[in-house]
Amino acid sequence: MSLSLSDIVSVFETRGHARYDGEPVTQLQHALQSAHLAEQEGAGSALIAAALLHDLGHLLHDHAGTPTQQGLDDLHQYRCLPFLRALFGPATLDPIRLHVDAKRFLCAREPGYLEALSPDSQRSLRLQGGVFDADQARAFEQLPHAMDAVRLRRWDDQAKCADRAVPALDHFVRHLEISAREHRSAREA
C-alpha cells in the first residue's frame, strides 16, 4: 500500500504526538527538528524529505511502548519504504534506509560518537547489529547516498530537544512535494 502526501501528513497528525520513547520529544517534534536541521544546513528537498520521514516506520507499526525496551528491533528504516516508494526516489529513500547503518558506521569511524549516543540509541544499536567492523564500514561508505545517510544521522542525533522551536509540518510539506515531483520527472525522462 502506498501513501499519498496527504496520507503522510495524516499519519504525522494522528500518530506523531506519541512520545519518542527514551527521548524528551514526540515523534512529530523529532521529525520536524530533523527536517529543520537539514534545511538550516542547506540540504536539497530530497534530503530534507528524508530527514522528515526517516522515522516514519515507527508510526506505521503496532508495537506498544518502546520496542527496544522489549528487546525488539522494529526495523523502522525498512518498514516505511513500501509505503513511500511510489512517491520518492533513491535520493530520499536511500538515506532513510541507511540511517541506522550510518549510526553503526559513525560508531566505528568517529571516536566518542558511541559514547555520545542517547541511552535509547545505544540500546537500539545493540539490537541493530552493533558497531560496524572495518570491512562493514568500508562497504557502507561505497553505497550510493551513504554520506547523505550520515548527514541525516547527525540531524537525527541532534533532533531530540524538548524546547527547540521549529516550523510546523505544513512548512516542510513543500519539500515532500518537490522531492516527489523530482522523482516523477526522473522516471518520465
At 71, the pLDDT band (50, 70, 90 cuts) reads low
pLDDT at 10: 97
Full DSSP string of 55-101: THHHHSS---S-GGGGT----HHHHTHHHHTTT--HHHHHHHHHHHH
Return the closest-CA partner of residue 25 out of 15, 17, 36: 17
* CA 185/CA 180 separation, integer angstroms: 9
Q: Is the pTM of this model over 0.85?
A: yes
Q: Which domains does the chain have, with CATH numbers?
A: 5-188 (1.10.3210.10)
Average pLDDT over residues 16-39: 90
What's the pLDDT tens digit per position in 120-158? 888 889 989 999 999 999 999 999 999 999 999 999 999
